[in-house]
Structure 1
Amino acid sequence: MPHPQTIQIFLPTGDPQGIRIAEITTRIVRVIEVPRSLLGDFLKMPEAEQVGVYFLFGEDEDGGAPRCYIGQTGSLKTRLSQHNAAKDFWNRALIAVSLTHSLTNTHASYLEWLSIQQAQSAGRYVMDNGNAGARPHTPAPMQADCSEIHATMRMLLATLGHPVFDPLSKPVATGGQSDDGELYYCRARNAEGRGQYTEEGFVVLKGSSGRADVTPSFMSRARERLLKQGVLVLDGDRVRFERDHLFKTPSGASDCLTGGNTNGWLEWKRPDGRTLQELERVTVEEGDS
């Protein structure tokens, strides 16, 4: 269960766009965010000599899909220098190290495996790792330590803007009416969409479908990008979502499904007919009055 926590972010140069060092004040793990252009500055830091788990974030050049590579090493300086020379896609590295220098190669190997597994399960990023690898043999007490370390990494990565382990959609109860009570539906213009309104925007869920053709006034660049990324596939006269996808606005989500310009606040409805506008916008306004 989520609980209140204090997170400290230190800016070594005072530049919020530069290197950032994040810690939970009661934990022994810190995460250092390094823009690629400042990698040389990180390599001069003492943390570059430590054992660490690292995450390289960037975007696919063709479709703009977010990408991630996860690795571990006994020498961050050597390994990140190699990635700087060989890997093109990334523009930020996030590096997890121990404040007490207690992270061993065994810890790091298990954390790498666990991180890849959970990132793949979440499905937010296209993973640049070739495979999930084999689960390394790790004694039970060390696995318990790694679970706590991983929870800290998860929180710090998300706080720094990289929620690689968090699924886009929230869990919903299966079966019966409880499932319908947490979802919104878009059934305008032959669309058959299901989605969730979240803190990040509006998530259209896997399996949702819409019309393949678009109205003359509709700009379809977003659709073209999603088709290129494999988020959408053509299925006859329909388009279908192959995985959950986050839109910044409810209207962006309903536009993509219907192939035309819409007001998503009115198009997305609960099974009883109440709109997103009624449940989210009006409630907030009434609460503030």
Structure 2
Amino acid sequence: MQPATIKLFLVKGSPTGLRTAEISNWTGKAIAGPRSDLDDFLSRPELKSPGVYLLSGIDADSNEPVIYIGEAEDVSSRLKQHAKNEDKDYWVHTSAFVSKDDNLTKAHIRYIEGKLIQQAYNSKRVVVMNSASSGSSLPEADRAEMDVYIERMLQLLPVLGIHHLTSTSLSPEKPNLLNPDKPSDASNQILLCKVKGKLTATGKRSEGGFTIFQGSQAVEQAVDSCPERIIKFRSKLIEKGILTLDDGCYIFTEDYEFTSPSAAAVIIRGRSTNGLTAWRTDDNRTLKDLEREP
């Protein structure tokens, strides 16, 4: 993504309360806030115009993040309808995006909605409450303009507390597991996690914790003493197709970000593991050693 200057305004002074966000030289504007501030949120004059909105929260049963993505020619009116819907009891946070120059049409917002829904499904990091993506056909020039709009949205969403739509891919050049002698880029601090010298996973520190790279290997069976929550999490990764069984081990089909090095290493080894010592460089320095270096 391009470097950007973000202007964040805390309407009530609270960093998690009602707030607006803008990016320099961008015609869009974001309004975000908790559902507890919904009345003040809906009174914003910007939301009387066409836009795209995201309703997010945590599923009570699975404890997984959930999101609903919608569009409306009058965002405020549509959100009032959602507020009356008992099926959306998971909804605790609202983010809406509109245009400062009133140039977003119905076709534009449907195109943006469709792209965001697809992005959410592809991320496999959030439960998408939409049944399908609507989308819209646009002329080539309009598509290019809306793609830039979406890119700016994706820059702002993590600032507003929505981290599930952004990609965890960190570098187009991943270590080649078929050629472990290939030197790693020291500046990227590519790390390895090995299991009994047979299986190898690669990854690195990332903004959200620790990301395991596509092609990494993990044990087929967790040990009996492995915590139940880890076993359930491995099962979810398998259900989502992020882990697939191949010749006696699981393979990561894509980059995946975990909350910490230990959370990533536990999935690889199928047992309790200290990620600071499990992840090592080619020359056997641990992640703990790296973080102690100047």
- Tell me the TM-score normalised to structure 1 length: 0.82
Distance 1:43 1:173 in 2: 45
Which AA in structure 2 matches 1:105? K
Deviation at 1:180, TM superposition (A): 5.5
- Superimposed CA distance per residue, residues 224-283 of structure 1 (whole angstroms, 9 cap, x where no aligned partner): 3453574687969967667654332212322333243332122112344343234x3133
The equivalent of 1:269 in structure 2 is: 280
Percent of pairs identical after alignment? Answer: 31
Tell me by how many angstroms 1:172 deviates. Answer: 3.0
Q: Measured at CA, do residues 121 and 57 of structure 1 come closer, stay the same or move farther in structure 2, by a change above 3 Å?
A: same
How far did 1:93 drift?
Answer: 1.2
Q: In structure 2, list runs of 5 or more residues that go unmatched.
A: none
For 1:100 and 1:140, the matched residues in 2 are separated by 21
Q: 1:193 to 1:48 in 2, by over 3 A?
A: same
User: Which residue does 1:130 correspond to in 2?
Assistant: 131
When the two structures are aligned, how many residues end up with a matched partner? 280
Partner of 1:172: 172
Report the CA distance shift for 1:140/1:178 in structure 2 as closer, same or farther (over 3 A): farther
Q: Hey, what's the Cα distance between the residues in 2 that align with 1:16 and 1:256?
A: 34
- Is 2:8 the partner of 1:9? yes
Measured in 2, the distance between the counterparts of 1:179 and 1:97 equals 47
Judged with a 3 Å threshold, the aligned counterparts in structure 2 of structure 1 residues 270 and 56 are, in CA distance, closer, same or farther, namely same
| Contact 2:230 2:266 survives alignment (8 Å) | no
- Cα deviation for residue 169 of structure 1 reads 3.0
Q: Secondary structure at the residue paired with 2:122?
A: helix
1:255 pairs with 2:266: yes
Q: 2:192 aligns with which of 164, 182, 185?
A: 185
Decide which of 202, 219, 235 is 1:210's aligned counterpart.
219
Provide the secondary structure at the position in 1 that maps to 2:8. strand
| Post-superposition offset of 1:51 | 0.6
Q: CA deviation at 1:221?
A: 2.3
Residue in 2 that maps onto 1:22: 21
Residue 33 (structure 1) aligns with: 32
Paired residue for 1:73? 72
Normalised TM-score (structure 2): 0.81
* 1:34 partner amino acid: G
What is the match of residue 96 of structure 1?
A: 97
**2:41 is matched with which residue?**
42
Name the SS for the 2:195 alignment partner.
coil
Matched, 1:55 2:54: yes
* Contact 2:55 2:92 (C-alpha < 8 Å) held by counterparts: yes
**Which stretches in structure 1 are left out of the alignment for 5+ residues?**
none
